[in-house]
Amino acid sequence: MQQAGGHRSVLLVASQVAALVALPGCSGPLSTLDPSGPAAASIATMWWVMLIGAGVLFLLVMGLFIQVVRRPGWGSSVSPTRWIVLGGLVLPAVVLLPLLAYGLVVGERLLPLPGSAPPQRIEAVAAQWNWTFRYPEQGGVETRNVLLLPAGTPVDMVVVSKDVIHAFWVPRFAGKVDAVPGRINRLRIQADRPGRYEGICDEFCGLGHARMRFAVIVHRPEDFDAALAQASAAAKGQQ
């Protein structure tokens, strides 16, 4: 009995240590579980729902396993075919089918579908090893490795590549989309509030891949045009 209690204590301490190690990964500038936009919030919620669903399925399987260990011969009256059907098909389907339906609904909501008012458009041009952002609705000004956004405003990112496949990703705003040579991809993002965030290239694109990062600065809508003009002038001065 003491040995069993000791094993339980060790498992409890190990689970607490694992939780403490994992929790810091749920925050930070590149954390998808610390959303700052509606699309990212939907993705984070879906992640938690999927985690809970996986946990429920794991507990159901472990419950059957414990029952068999504690009561040898339990379930022997059930034919192997029924075990395969009930345990291999019905049991996972009870959890996985609702998760699949939920994932399809959330995924449809994340698509850049046409709305009543077209969102603002910003072009993201990837090249080894930098990002150029163009703002057609603000006279075609450009910024290099700094993306400026107005808070609370949906923006369609038009993502292209000049050379190899890259990927545009601001984890706290939305999912990611590939930048493919000769192809135009779109991603709708929105920032909830002003602040400084980070974006990365999430597709290995060569030896300089680690440098394919960019800053994301979100301004109040009334300050956006002035901040963009200032950033564009600073970028031209550095050239």
Same domain, 161 and 51: no
- pLDDT on residue 103: 86
Same domain, 44 and 94: yes
pLDDT tens readout for residues 152-169: 999 999 999 999 999 999
> How many other CB atoms are found less than 10 A from the CB of residue 63?
10
Same domain, 158 and 199: yes
Same domain, 154 and 126: yes
> Does 169 sit behind a cis peptide bond, omega within 30 degrees of 0 on the bond before it?
no
Domain contains 147: yes
Separation CA 43–CA 31 (nearest Å) = 11
Same domain, 47 and 74: yes
pLDDT tens readout for residues 5-40: 444 444 444 444 444 445 445 667 788 888 888 889
> Which pair of structure tokens corresponds to residue 57?
């399925």
Q: What's the mean pLDDT in 202-223?
A: 91
> Which pair of structure tokens corresponds to residue 223?
């300050």
The whole model's pTM is what? 0.74
Helix H segments across 130-195?
Answer: none
Helix H segments across the chain?
Answer: 2-22, 38-70, 80-83, 91-110, 221-238
Separation CA 153–CA 12 (nearest Å) = 46
pLDDT tens readout for residues 49-87: 889 888 888 888 888 888 878 887 776 777 888 878 887
Task: Tell me how many domains the chain contains.
Answer: 2
> Which pair of structure tokens corresponds to residue 94?
């009870």
Same domain, 125 and 229: yes
Separation CA 203–CA 210 (nearest Å) = 10
> Does 129 sit behind a cis peptide bond, omega within 30 degrees of 0 on the bond before it?
yes
Q: Is 209 helix (H, G, I), strand (E, B) or coil?
A: helix
How does the average pLDDT of the chain come out, rounded? 82
Domain contains 200: yes
pLDDT tens readout for residues 101-141: 888 888 877 777 666 567 889 999 999 999 999 999 888 88
* Domain end marker among 61, 86, 110: 110
Separation CA 77–CA 22 (nearest Å) = 43
Domain contains 1: no
Q: 237: pLDDT confidence band, cut at 50, 70 and 90?
A: low
Q: Is 144 helix (H, G, I), strand (E, B) or coil?
A: strand
Return the H-helix or E-strand segment holding 210: none
Same domain, 142 and 80: no
Same domain, 124 and 233: yes
Domain contains 12: no
- pLDDT on residue 58: 87
Category of 145 on φ-ψ map: left (φ > 0), alpha (ψ -120 to 50) or beta: left
CATH code: domain of residue 225 = 2.60.40.420
Same domain, 202 and 170: yes
Separation CA 188–CA 166 (nearest Å) = 17
Same domain, 73 and 36: yes
Residue pair 39/173 in contact by the 8 Å Cβ criterion: yes
Domain contains 3: no
* Domain end marker among 60, 78, 110: 110
SS3 content of the chain, % helix, strand, coil (to 5): 45, 25, 30
Domain contains 33: yes
Q: Which domain holds residue 167?
A: 120-238
* Domain end marker among 75, 110, 145: 110
Same domain, 233 and 169: yes
Domain contains 17: no
Same domain, 106 and 131: no
Domain contains 233: yes
